[in-house]
Amino acid sequence: MTVESTAARKPRRSSGTKRAAGAASAAKAPAAKAVATAQNAEPQLVQLLTPEGERVSAADNPDAAEFLSFVEDITTEDLRGLYRDMVLTRRFDGEATALQRQGELGLWASLLGQEAAQIGSGRALRDDDYVFPTYREHGVAWCRGVDPTNLLGMFRGVNHGGWDPSTNNFHLYTIVIGSQTLHATGYAMGVAKDGADSAVIAYFGDGASSQGDVAEAFTFSAVYNSPVVFFCQNNQWAISEPTERQMRVPLYQRAQGFGFPGIRVDGNDVLACLAVTRWALERARRGEGPTLVEAFTYRMAAHTTSDDPTKYRRDEETAAWEAKDPILRLKTYLLASGGADEAFFEALEAESEALGKRVREVVRAMPDPDTMAIFENVYADGHALVDEERAQFAAYLASFEEGH
Amino acid sequence: MAVEKMSIAKALNESLRKALETDPKVLIMGEDVGKLGGVFRITDGLQKDFGEERVIDTPLAESGIVGTAIGLALRGYRPVVEIQFDGFVFPAYDQIVTQLAKMHARSLGKVKMPVVVRIPYAGGIGAVEHHSESPEALFAHVPGLKVVSPSNPSDAYWMLQQAILSDDPVIFFEPKRRYWDKGEVDIDAIPDSLHAARVAREGADITLAAYGPMVKVCLEAAAAAAEEGKSVEVVDLRSMSPIDFDGLQASVEKTRRLVVVHEAPVFLGTGAEIAARITERCFYHLEAPVLRVGGFHAPYPPARLEDEYLPGLDRVLDAVDRSLAY
């Protein structure tokens, strides 16, 4: 099946068709509970690598068939690369969590469990594509070539991001949830105006999907047919609130009402995330407009280091998701298929250690900003009040020096 | 010298036209700005001449308008967005305050946000609820935003040009009840700095400071006071962020008295900031406390009451008398 016919004929193809039917029948049931159950039920989704580490073939799953063509070019070496990305990202994330516990970072938002969603989608991007992340996209940043230590400044409290988004086409982390989906849409409108064939991807979570800005981004991108992919990592929990508190129908189905395709992918399957994101990006490049990808995954750690998941979720749930671990399943496949040997894993372990060490060193050496940085970059063209307050505060600070 | 007489509305339209002609990156966005030319016709004819790709009718979603303008600015465009009425800006307030205002600082200066948000504001046109508000202090309070308001056609023309040229986000408040007031515009002039106050009428006994729609009221008050032998200076602030305190200080040091006039509620308003700063700067020059005339701490009233709510000639002259009585 060609890419074009996939998009043109069956935009929401995948298990999504079945899910839509399921939700519709549930909605007819008198009890609202039935809908909630439909939302929670084990979803059918695009999966190319099972939790047991087995590749899905077209014969196994016709729904997966059309997406297999999007990863046909992926070699064993590529798979090792994806594995390396996930391992190093997890190591970086673990190191950051440890640094927060040691008091080196004020806060950390862990991506533990979401490595496949981020690496799969991140590796689908071209250099000229533009990424609008939320505050947990450490794996996507890794794929963009952003030095991971750059991500730590805001969590250490020395800046609010600070990197130049245009260097890696990776926008600053956005903390107000959902805001960046509109920035991505506007940027994509600009891409279309420029006649470029770049695509834009906006990351957000299941909690952000409740925000009006996300709905407005869907509206604008649909109306202007903007080349943007909305990549929602549904990690099941918005701090302590489960998806039942965010939605009554599966997230990806929402796209239909806005007039563009939505699809649910196994967010713990790096290969499926890569394939589905490539499919969506190609639609964008061909001028076919936005796509909503719902990566169905799980946040294994806390929302941030400030909350305590034991207060709001069950151990059995976490354990069930542990069995779907994105890294473990690829390792199983690589070992079983002979795609990697012990030497590869050992070398990677050494590389992980080195990354962890570097992250620790860089964070601890990160200097506090100069006090007068408070007044810097408030305005591009300057501002009389800022100038006045800067001068007053400088004089105030200088008065202590004179007292010596 | 090309001097033309035109209304504020026409001056704004000409200003947008010039910006579109000058810079292909300038875009106009908003609700009904295309074929209709905006509910006040400020963008009249622009879509016809520049096309739907430059003059963009948007979905009716203010957060979406500002949020996508931010994305377009990141792509190198210079969007000029129109919010249809003052009271409708609040759905976009989050994008303006948490994103537009902070992007430059957050990126340590790497990202510029040349976005102009045009808002027809303030009362006096007999409109329904949410169509007559003066929320300028809410924006002036936000670091990262610049806030201006013209009071006459020449300023409307030039200040909008300068706002569009600025690499900072500018909230551009248009005094909607003055849209049809006419005046001369010199389109070859070299304009003042966007944020410089202007002495609109010279006087010796007291200074009235105002901006936007209240400048005209203050000029009328000054003329009325002159008949009683009082010499009133009127300063048109033009900019609420930053405020030209040096310019205002010069006037107050001369007249030794100051009354600040605006339509917005007095409490925690622009006048409060001016009173505090001018008191600090001019404590030994002042003959009277800085007084304020403005709206009440109440929702903008139904149209049949707005003449009572809005500061008019009598309330301004009353404040002048109170100040002079010290």
pLDDT digits (tens, 9 = 90+) for A253-276: 999 999 999 999 999 999 999 999
**Is the model's pLDDT at A21 over the cut of 90?**
no
Question: Helices A212-223 and A179-194 sit at what angle, rounded to 10 degrees?
Answer: 10
**Contact between chains at A164 and B167 (C-beta distance less than 8 A):** no
Note whether B50 contacts A: Cβ–Cβ < 8 A.
Answer: no
Residue A256 C-alpha from the chain's centroid:
22
How many of the other CB atoms lie within 10 Å of CB of A204?
A: 28
CA dist A5 and A80 (Å) reads: 31
Q: Round the average pLDDT of chain B to a whole number and report it.
A: 97
The strand pairing partners of B222, in sequence order, are none
Q: For position A1, what pLDDT does the model report?
A: 29
A261-276: buried (b, 16+ CB within 10 Å) or exposed (e) per residue?
bbbbbbbbbbbbbbbb
Identify the CA nearest to B94 among candidates A178, A157, A160, A209.
Answer: A178
When pLDDT is cut at 50, 70 and 90, the band that residue A23 belongs to is very low
Least confident residue range of A40-44, A71-75, A313-317 = A40-44
**Contact between chains at A380 and B109 (C-beta distance less than 8 A):** yes
Q: For position A53, what pLDDT does the model report?
A: 95
**Active-site annotation holder among A312, A314, A364, A383:** A312
Amino acid identity, position B282: C
Per-residue pLDDT of chain B (326 residues; tens, 9 = 90+): 689 999 999 999 999 999 999 999 999 999 999 999 999 999 999 999 999 999 999 999 999 999 999 999 999 999 999 999 999 999 999 999 999 999 999 999 999 999 999 999 999 999 999 999 999 999 999 999 999 999 999 999 999 999 999 999 999 999 999 999 999 999 999 999 999 999 999 999 999 999 999 999 999 999 999 999 999 999 999 999 999 999 999 999 999 999 999 999 999 999 999 999 999 999 999 999 999 999 999 999 999 999 999 999 999 999 999 999 99
Q: For position A10, what pLDDT does the model report?
A: 36
**Is the model's pLDDT at A200 over the cut of 90?**
yes
Higher pLDDT, B306 or A17: B306
The DSSP symbol for B125 reads: S
Question: Helices A270-285 and A115-122 sit at what angle, rounded to 10 degrees?
Answer: 40
**Contact between chains at A186 and B195 (C-beta distance less than 8 A):** no
Instruction: Give the nearest chain B residue to A160 (CA atoms).
Output: B106
Note whether B107 contacts A: Cβ–Cβ < 8 A.
Answer: yes
Q: For position A63, what pLDDT does the model report?
A: 73
The strand pairing partners of B175, in sequence order, are B121
Tokens of A114: 């979401």
Q: What percent of chain A has pLDDT over 70?
A: 89
| Residue where the block lists tokens 């190198």 | B76
Task: Name the minimum distance, in Å, from the CA of A33 to any CA of chain B.
Answer: 33
Q: For position A61, what pLDDT does the model report?
A: 78
Q: Report the SS3 class of residue B289.
A: coil
pLDDT tens readout for residues B103-137: 999 999 999 999 999 999 999 999 999 999 999 99
Pairing of strands A228-234, A291-296: parallel
CA dist B47 and B17 (Å) reads: 10
Q: Round the average pLDDT of chain A to a whole number and report it.
A: 90
CA dist B78 and B160 (Å) reads: 13
| Residue where the block lists tokens 């248009």 | B174
pLDDT tens readout for residues A74-116: 999 999 999 999 999 999 999 999 999 999 999 999 999 999 9
Note whether A376 contacts B: Cβ–Cβ < 8 A.
Answer: yes
Please give the C-alpha separations between residue A216 and each of A4, A224, A385, B61, in angstroms, as whole numbers: 28, 12, 35, 7
CA dist A251 and A12 (Å) reads: 13
Q: For position A62, what pLDDT does the model report?
A: 75
Instruction: Give the nearest chain B residue to A202 (CA atoms).
Output: B71
**Is the model's pLDDT at A127 over the cut of 50?**
yes
Instruction: Give the nearest chain A residue to B98 (CA atoms).
Output: A176
- Per-residue three-class SS string for A132-196: ECCCCCHHHHHHHCCCHHHHHHHHHCCCCCCCCHHHHCECCCCCCCCHHHHHHHHHHHHHHHHCC
Q: What percent of chain A has pLDDT over 90?
A: 85
Note whether B238 contacts A: Cβ–Cβ < 8 A.
Answer: no
**Contact between chains at A189 and B70 (C-beta distance less than 8 A):** no
pTM of the model: 0.93
Residues of A in contact with B69 (CB under 8 A): 186
**Contact between chains at A172 and B107 (C-beta distance less than 8 A):** yes
Is A299 annotated in the active site? yes
Q: For position A25, what pLDDT does the model report?
A: 35
Q: For position B1, what pLDDT does the model report?
A: 62
CA dist A321 and B308 (Å) reads: 66
When pLDDT is cut at 50, 70 and 90, the band that residue A33 belongs to is very low
**Contact between chains at B71 and A184 (C-beta distance less than 8 A):** yes
Amino acid identity, position B59: P
**Is the model's pLDDT at A3 over the cut of 60?**
no
**A to B CB pairs, distance under 8 Å:** 149
Q: For position A65, what pLDDT does the model report?
A: 84
**Is the model's pLDDT at A404 over the cut of 90?**
no
Q: Report the SS3 class of residue A391.
A: helix
Q: Which residue from A162, A164, A187 is facing B71, i.e. has the nearest CB? A: A187
pLDDT tens readout for residues A357-382: 999 999 999 999 999 999 999 999 99
pLDDT tens readout for residues B158-171: 999 999 999 999 99
**Active-site annotation holder among A13, A138, A303, A329:** A303
Catalytic center residues of B? 131
**Contact between chains at A174 and B243 (C-beta distance less than 8 A):** no
Task: Name the minimum distance, in Å, from the CA of A188 to any CA of chain B.
Answer: 8
Name A296's Cβ contacts closer than 8 Å, sequence gap at least 6: A43, A45, A234, A264, A265, A266, A267
Q: Which residue from A161, A188, A220 is facing B59, i.e. has the nearest CB? A: A220
